[in-house]
């Protein structure tokens, strides 16, 4: 560590250059952390679904409804603890751009199945006790500035007309990846207002034990295979994961961009390190004359490069952590968006590698420098 | 008096590593910028080319998307009888009442499930939509379980060769043709006869009606007439506008990401250029002194150094554009959330995008070169010539 | 046995397969505690001889023995370690690191030893006193005059208490007054601290301060 001062002094030689280089590394790692967090958040969202719950939807397609009559038959299957049913509502709040998910749920069975939804007890009772009540995520409340007890009107797209709901409950999710921008209301309200024409969009099935998921799933599908409405049953986790993959090949895109960022900054930083080294040929020769070993000089140059990259990287990742958590709008697209510790450590690791690569050429030059040649040039 | 360009070129060649690394840094920024714009461009053009401005597109009032909509057979007949509908060569009105469902299908090569649009049409649909052509095989025969598939679909899903059988809705369907639709989202769809699909998907209503206007200039009047008709209960859209709007949000996100990501990367690359140019100026203080003593003005020196930065940037821009050219035409997909179905589209690099890329590079070069060039212009002959 | 013993030393450079002899059959013996001035016109091989003595360059043939050690037989790694203990080098252009203070420049060779921070500080203070720059310890080279910079250079050369000081035109870049100061300092180091000094110079006045003057002309030593 006694060479630390030499390293620091070299970094301070051209402050502008050191700072600019560190800053370019900073922006690169800001991007790295932000982009990777998109992936980790998508992954986390794909895993938010439970393995102990099954979703049965129509084998014809997710948009096709299933008959009410399936409920009792599912309930009768061994290993099934309870069944709930829901429908996608697809209403519009004022403008189509204000998109958020709305579900008509069979509230008693649904809430019993979802301890993930944290609702104050009085609100839960108020919601369950009123036909046109709505249960709204805290994030959605914040997004539209809604208050508890407020009446909001949604314009039906699948179910025509104006639908009024009174917000009686606000939930917060147990896990941020679950999302807090959904809007739930009673299936019965939908059922009655559509003259009992509507049937469930999908069933949610709570199992006695998760290890039976595959077996019960195929048993259910076999049960309805020759009925008028065959089903496709999968665990809630794989059902959710299916939606995540619908965005397309985000991971490839992000990886491609990440690679480009890495190399762009590699070029910038490597160039700086080489420029810095070129200016110091004479000094390295002097140090060798004083008896500095080649390995020591290699280490000193390498350390400089790694310090620039790690300092830049840490600041960049830090900025990403700070700005991403305060960026509300992104939570609508990617609930639970955050920079994971894994990303932070991976980023620091990459910064070290980046520093090592940018430092290797100048470090080798320094250690292989011929003193006699260099001193002649001085 | 201008400092000759050859001076800059020689100077750049004097320090090839520094020039190349700086240029390559910028090249990658331009590559990311152009490829993301190409993505957004391709996505938008897939949707834009879907709609025609001669066509009117009807959905149930308030439905907003084909998936939510339902129009009864009676209403479809009413529309078909309207006077402002263009007639085809056979004298029949160019109107297509269509069913629209989304089904899950396994992608080619274990790529998982994708939601695919199955559109039930009549043969008139091939005339109502311009730019539609059968590439291979033929159209489906009415009254049979035959389908035609878009060419993008054919590449991405198994059994879609002519004569292949695809199972959905509990039935086997025979592929009899592949069609192109000017790169539009129709190319990701399966088309068959509406009358065949209705019983299979247990819906006796159409989802949407599209017709060609005899006088496209009169769209406003037509819209008013249709929306006011009590027998119909529909919203009327100009088809082109409708499809354009479907992509707006995703397109905005993609454009924003292109500018955001490339912009941030550009900051890094500009810092690199600043370092390079400062070093160039520092190592040539002596030369600058000579130039000034020969009578060149400081602003000549400044523009010369700015030009040198620009040269590096343009080199980077050109390399960046070359780097991304291979992605042109690459097909990728995302979900059109309005129809809940997979939309395949290709990266589309246009000359305009290349121009944007070069302008982007030039901007980085000028910003990065400005301060060092000003430093160069401020050099004094005496200082510069001292040693 | 002499402290430095050079025998039949030859050195040549090759340019375009043409041999350019720099040193030819050089024999030189220096006793411990001697102050030797090595004179000669530029291109005569003075600096090359000095570099070979310091183990920075390898001779083509002949041997260099310093304090009983065969310099030519040592590896690069051994040479570096040996230099740090036995050789103090003083350059014409001082060659201080501009980013370090006088104190830090002088401390550099001590970083290669196992001395503690406190011991290093004591050593640096001592040599700063010897060269008379105790009050300039925290100045950067840019803030010092040429003579002062060279005194820092000498302090750096002696801080690790080497037995030999090699000077390559240590006064070549200085005005007469500063040069005189430096020579006086070198003499003092020679007399009070018994350092063996071999100084390359082409200034006859500087050479007069040495005990022995050797002339080098076209690679051949002419005493």
Could you tell me the pLDDT band of residue A378, with boundaries at 50, 70 and 90?
Answer: very low
C17 assigned to some structural domain: no
C11 assigned to some structural domain: no
Residues A284-295: what's their mean pLDDT? 88
Residues of B in contact with A155 (CB under 8 A): 62
Q: CA B267, CA A312: separation in Å to the nearest integer?
A: 13
C15 assigned to some structural domain: no
Burial class (CB in 10 A: 0-12, 13-18, 19+), C55: buried
Asked whether residue B113 carries a pLDDT value surpassing 90, the answer given is no
Q: Which of B62, B101, B278 lies at the smallest CB-CB distance from A160?
A: B62
Residues B342-368: what's their mean pLDDT? 92
Q: Which residues of A make CB contacts under 8 Å with C?
A: 2-3, 5-6, 9-10, 12-13, 282-283, 286-294, 296, 371-372, 375, 378
Whole-number average pLDDT of chain C: 87
Using one digit for the tens of pLDDT, what is the confidence trace for B133-145? 999 999 999 999 9
% chain A with pLDDT above 90:
51
Q: Does B21 touch chain A (CB under 8 A)?
A: yes
Asked whether residue B321 carries a pLDDT value surpassing 80, the answer given is yes
Identify the weakest region by mean pLDDT among A263-267, B254-258, B380-384: B380-384
What residue ranges do the domains of chain B occupy?
5-48+248-385, 55-212
Asked whether residue B248 carries a pLDDT value surpassing 80, the answer given is no
Q: Which of A31, A232, A249 lies at the smallest CB-CB distance from B264?
A: A31
Q: CA A122, CA A104: separation in Å to the nearest integer?
A: 21
* DSSP H/E element including B209: strand B208-212
Using one digit for the tens of pLDDT, what is the confidence trace for C67-80? 888 888 888 888 88
Q: Domain tally for chain C?
A: 1
What is the Cα gyration radius of chain C?
17
Q: CA C37, CA C211: separation in Å to the nearest integer?
A: 8
pLDDT (0 to 100) of residue A222: 92
Contacts of C149 (CB under 8 A, 6+ apart): C94, C96, C141
Nearest Cα residue in chain A from B104:
A61
Nearest Cα residue in chain A from B23:
A267
Q: Which of A13, A288, A293 lies at the smallest CB-CB distance from C99?
A: A13
Indicate the pTM of the whole model: 0.85
Strands across the sheet containing C61-66? C18-30, C4-15, C61-66, C69-70
Query: ipTM > 0.85?
Result: no
Alpha helices in C54-138 (DSSP H): 76-86, 102-107, 117-131
Strands C35-39 and C212-217: parallel
Q: Which of B24, B62, B65 lies at the smallest CB-CB distance from A267?
A: B24
Residues of A in contact with C54 (CB under 8 A): 289
Asked whether residue C22 carries a pLDDT value surpassing 90, the answer given is no
Question: Which one is predicted more confidently, B387 or A350?
Answer: A350
pLDDT (0 to 100) of residue B360: 94
- CA nearest neighbour of C37 among C219, C213, C216: C213
- CA nearest neighbour of C166 among C210, C199, C124: C199
Q: Give how far C31 is from chain A: nearest CA, Å.
A: 23
Nearest Cα residue in chain B from A232:
B104
- B268 vs A263: CB contact, 8 Å cut-off? no
Residues of B in contact with A274 (CB under 8 A): 17-18, 21
- A27 vs B104: CB contact, 8 Å cut-off? no
Could you tell me the pLDDT band of residue A377, with boundaries at 50, 70 and 90?
Answer: low
What residue ranges do the domains of chain A occupy?
4-46+248-377, 60-229
pLDDT (0 to 100) of residue B383: 64
Question: Which one is predicted more confidently, C42 or A132?
Answer: A132
Chains with 3 or more CB pairs under 8 A to chain C: A
- C99 vs A12: CB contact, 8 Å cut-off? yes
CATH number at residue C128: 3.40.50.300
Contacts of B280 (CB under 8 A, 6+ apart): B11, B15, B18, B305, B308, B372
Whole-number average pLDDT of chain B: 88
Burial class (CB in 10 A: 0-12, 13-18, 19+), C81: middle
Length of chain A: 378
Q: Which of C81, C93, C98 lies at the smallest CB-CB distance from A291?
A: C81
Could you tell me the pLDDT band of residue A228, with boundaries at 50, 70 and 90?
Answer: confident
pLDDT (0 to 100) of residue A306: 94
Identify the weakest region by mean pLDDT among A44-53, A253-262, B103-112, C201-210: B103-112
Cα torsion A27, A32, A33, A38 to 10°: value is 130
Integer CA distances (angstroms), A87 to A64, A234, A243, B34, B255, in order: 10, 17, 16, 42, 34
Chains with 3 or more CB pairs under 8 A to chain A: B, C
Residues A201-206: what's their mean pLDDT? 94
- A97 vs B113: CB contact, 8 Å cut-off? no
Question: Which one is predicted more confidently, B5 or B217?
Answer: B217
Q: Is A294 left (phi over 0), alpha (psi -120 to 50) or beta?
A: alpha
Q: Which of B25, B264, B335 lies at the smallest CB-CB distance from A268?
A: B25
pLDDT (0 to 100) of residue B384: 61
Integer CA distances (angstroms), A16 to A5, A195, B19, B277, B309, in order: 19, 73, 19, 12, 18
Q: CA A155, CA A251: separation in Å to the nearest integer?
A: 35
The count of C-alpha atoms lying within 13 angstroms of the C-alpha of A90, restricted to the half-sphere facing its C-beta, is 20
Q: CA B354, CA B65: separation in Å to the nearest integer?
A: 35
* DSSP H/E element including C5: strand C4-15
Length of chain C: 223
- B275 vs A17: CB contact, 8 Å cut-off? yes
Q: Which of B29, B104, B271 lies at the smallest CB-CB distance from A23?
A: B271
Residues of A in contact with C117 (CB under 8 A): 2
Residues of A in contact with B68 (CB under 8 A): 90, 157-158
Q: CA B375, CA B305: separation in Å to the nearest integer?
A: 10
Q: CA A205, CA C109: separation in Å to the nearest integer?
A: 76
Asked whether residue B387 carries a pLDDT value surpassing 60, the answer given is no
CB pairs under 8 A between A and C: 69
Contacts of B182 (CB under 8 A, 6+ apart): B49, B130, B131, B132
Q: Give residue C47's domain range.
A: 32-58+75-222
Contacts of A194 (CB under 8 A, 6+ apart): A159
Integer CA distances (angstroms), C104 to C107, C119, C125, C138, in order: 5, 14, 11, 8
């Amino acid at each position: 560590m006694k060479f630390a001062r030499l390293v620091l002094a070299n970094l301070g030689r051209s402050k502008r250059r050191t700072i600019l280089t560190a800053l370019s590394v900073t922006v690169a790692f800001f991007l790295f952390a932000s982009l990777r967090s998109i992936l980790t958040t998508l992954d986390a969202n794909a895993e938010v679904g439970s393995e102990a719950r099954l979703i049965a939807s129509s084998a014809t397609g997710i948009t096709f409804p299933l008959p009410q009559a399936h409920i009792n038959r599912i309930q009768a299957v061994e290993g099934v603890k309870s069944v709930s049913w829901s429908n996608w509502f697809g209403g519009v709040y004022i403008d189509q751009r204000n998109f958020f998910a709305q579900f008509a749920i069979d509230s008693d069975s649904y809430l019993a199945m979802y301890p993930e939804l944290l609702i104050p007890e009085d609100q839960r009772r108020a919601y369950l006790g009123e036909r046109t009540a709505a249960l709204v995520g805290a994030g959605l409340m914040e997004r539209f500035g809604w208050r508890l007890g407020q009446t909001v009107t949604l314009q039906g797209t699948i179910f025509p007309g104006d639908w009024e709901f009174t917000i009686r409950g606000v939930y917060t999710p147990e896990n941020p990846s679950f999302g807090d921008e959904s809007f739930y209301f009673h299936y019965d309200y939908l059922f009655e207002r559509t003259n009992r024409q509507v049937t469930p969009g999908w069933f949610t099935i709570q199992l006695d034990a998760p290890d039976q998921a595959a077996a019960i799933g195929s048993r259910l599908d076999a049960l309805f295979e020759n009925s008028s409405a065959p089903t496709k049953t999968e665990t809630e986790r794989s059902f959710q994961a299916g939606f995540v993959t619908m965005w397309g090949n985000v991971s490839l895109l992000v990886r491609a961009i990440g690679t480009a960022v890495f190399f762009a900054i590699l070029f910038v930083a490597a160039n700086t390190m080489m420029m810095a080294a070129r200016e110091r040929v004479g000094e390295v020769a002097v140090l060798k004359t004083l008896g500095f070993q080649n390995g020591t000089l290699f280490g000193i140059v390498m350390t400089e490069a790694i310090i620039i990259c790690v300092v830049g990287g840490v600041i960049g990742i830090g900025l990403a952590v700070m700005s991403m958590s305060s960026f509300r709008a992104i939570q609508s697209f990617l609930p639970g968006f955050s920079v994971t510790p894994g990303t932070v450590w991976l980023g620091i690791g990459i910064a070290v590698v980046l520093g090592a690569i940018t430092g290797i050429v100048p470090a080798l030059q320094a250690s292989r420098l011929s003193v006699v040649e260099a001193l002649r040039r001085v | 008096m201008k400092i000759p360009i050859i001076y800059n070129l020689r100077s750049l060649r004097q320090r090839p590593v520094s020039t190349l690394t700086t240029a390559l840094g910028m090249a990658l920024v331009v590559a990311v910028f152009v490829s993301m714009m190409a993505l957004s461009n391709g996505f938008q053009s897939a949707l834009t080319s879907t709609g025609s401005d001669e066509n009117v597109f009807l959905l149930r009032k308030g439905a907003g998307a084909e998936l939510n909509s339902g129009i009864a057979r009676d209403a479809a007949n009413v529309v078909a009888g309207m006077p402002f509908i263009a007639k085809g060569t056979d004298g029949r009105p160019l109107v297509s009442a269509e069913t629209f469902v989304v089904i899950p299908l396994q992608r080619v090569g274990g790529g998982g499930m994708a939601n695919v649009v199955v559109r039930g049409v009549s043969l008139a649909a091939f005339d109502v939509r311009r730019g539609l052509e059968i590439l291979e095989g033929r159209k489906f025969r009415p009254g049979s379980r035959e389908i035609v598939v878009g060419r993008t679909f054919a590449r991405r899903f198994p059994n879609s060769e002519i004569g292949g059988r695809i199972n959905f809705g509990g039935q086997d369907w025979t592929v009899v043709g592949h069609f192109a639709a000017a790169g539009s989202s129709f190319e990701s769809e399966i088309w068959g006869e509406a009358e065949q699909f209705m019983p299979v998907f247990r819906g006796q209503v159409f989802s949407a009606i599209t017709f060609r206007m005899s006088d496209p200039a009169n769209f406003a009047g037509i819209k008013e007439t249709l929306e006011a008709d009590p027998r119909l209960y529909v919203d009327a859209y100009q088809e082109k506008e409708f499809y354009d709007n479907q992509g707006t949000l995703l397109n905005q996100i993609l454009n924003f990401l292109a500018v955001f990501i490339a912009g941030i990367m550009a900051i890094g690359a500009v810092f690199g250029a600043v370092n390079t140019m400062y070093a160039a100026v520092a190592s040539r203080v002596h030369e600058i002194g000579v130039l000034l003593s020969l009578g060149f003005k400081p602003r000549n020196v400044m523009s010369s150094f700015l030009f040198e930065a620009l040269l590096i940037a343009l080199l980077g821009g050109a390399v960046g554009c070359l780097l991304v050219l291979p992605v042109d035409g690459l097909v990728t997909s995302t979900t059109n959330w309005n129809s809940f179905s997979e939309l395949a589209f290709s990266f589309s690099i246009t000359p305009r995008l290349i121009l944007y890329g070069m302008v982007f590079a030039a901007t980085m070069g000028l910003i990065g070169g400005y301060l060092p060039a000003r430093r160069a212009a401020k050099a004094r002959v005496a200082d510069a010539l001292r040693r | 046995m002499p402290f430095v013993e050079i025998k039949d030393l030859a050195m040549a450079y090759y340019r375009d397969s043409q041999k350019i002899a720099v040193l030819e059959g050089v024999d030189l013996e220096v006793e411990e505690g001697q102050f030797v001035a090595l004179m000669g016109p530029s291109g005569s091989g003075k600096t090359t001889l000095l570099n070979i003595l310091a183990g920075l360059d390898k001779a083509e043939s002949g041997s260099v023995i310093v304090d009983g050690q065969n310099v030519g037989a040592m590896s690069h790694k051994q040479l570096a370690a040996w230099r740090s203990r036995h050789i103090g080098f003083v350059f014409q252009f001082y060659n201080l690191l501009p980013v370090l203070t006088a104190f830090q420049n002088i401390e550099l060779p001590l970083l290669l030893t196992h001395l503690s921070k406190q011991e290093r500080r004591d050593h640096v203070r001592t040599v700063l006193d010897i060269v008379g720059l105790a009050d300039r310890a925290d100045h950067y080279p840019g803030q010092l005059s040429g003579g002062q910079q060279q005194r820092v250079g000498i302090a750096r050369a002696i801080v690790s208490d080497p037995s030999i000081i090699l000077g390559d035109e240590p006064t070549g870049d200085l005005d007469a007054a500063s040069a005189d100061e430096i020579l006086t300092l070198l003499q003092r180091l020679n007399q009070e601290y018994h350092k063996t000094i071999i100084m390359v110079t082409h200034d006859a006045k500087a050479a007069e301060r040495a005990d022995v003057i050797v002339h080098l002309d076209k690679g051949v030593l002419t005493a």
